[in-house]
Amino acid sequence: MLELNSVTQQFRNNQKETVTALSDVSLKVQEGEFVSIVGPSGSGKSTLLFITGALLRPTKGEVYLMGEDIYAHPASYRAGLRLERIGFVFQTFNLIPYLNALDNVALPAVLTTGSRRKATEKAEELLRRFGLGHRLNHRVSELSVGERQRVAICRSVINEPALILADEPTGNLDPEMTHEVMNLFAELNRNGITVIIVTHEEAVASYAERVLHLRGGILQNGG
């Protein structure tokens, strides 16, 4: 369902030098897989995730999502893709600070269905399912870090995406919360969603069926 074809990403840093964040990365992920990519900080994990998630056009190479070359399409099409087919979870700042948990989760559904009521109903159902029924109307600042991550996961799945991309989703969590959150991803994966997680922790990566290693922008045991 996902295929990266010799993807290379270069940046210009502040000193105007060219930094190669990813070099010639190729990767194939089948539908329903749970893949984790492990690498130290600066190895290009976030870059890889942004490129996969239609947020960053690679310097070289193509990305196929469900058979489509996503960067052959205009930016507005890719925005639609992110809204409907892809769910993102980041390490921090996943939520809009002035919305409560319910509105944060509902937001993508409001944008697709145009119905606030339907979106809110669905969001509430998700939050309850993930044990956050008592936090519906809490502001982001009133939630614990672990709760915020779970809210973010609810938000990422509300539009029933085919693919979830998570960037160090447990980076700020204690071992217990990490376990809980990783189990959520595993559960979503069992329900048929393809999940890709990038992390610098081998322990976190081991929740996945397939573990890949990224070092210095190079994918070690290619998929």
| Residues at the contact surface with ligand ADP, assessed by CB under 6 A | 11, 13, 19, 21, 39, 41-47
Up-side HSE of residue 62: CA atoms within 13 Å toward CB?
Answer: 10
Tokens 């809980």, located at residue: 180
**H-type alpha helices, the chain:** 45-52, 75-84, 101-113, 116-129, 145-157, 175-190, 202-205
Q: For residue 89, give the H/E element and its range.
A: strand 86-89
Closest residue to Mg ion, judged by C-beta, is 46
The residue among 35 and 140 lying less far from another protein, judged by its C-beta, is 140
The residue among 9 and 100 lying less far from Mg ion, judged by its C-beta, is 9
CB of 209 to ligand ADP, least distance (A): 21
CB of 167 to Mg ion, least distance (A): 6
- Asked if 46 is part of the footprint of Mg ion (rule: CB under 5 A), the reply reads yes
The residue among 83 and 136 lying less far from another protein, judged by its C-beta, is 83
Binding site for another protein (CB under 8 A): 46-47, 50, 53, 55-56, 75-76, 79-84, 86, 88, 90, 92-99, 103, 107-108, 110-111, 114, 116, 155
The residue among 108 and 169 lying less far from ligand ADP, judged by its C-beta, is 169
Q: How far apart are CA 161 and CA 83, in angstroms?
A: 8
Q: What residues line the site for Mg ion (CB under 5 A)? A: 46
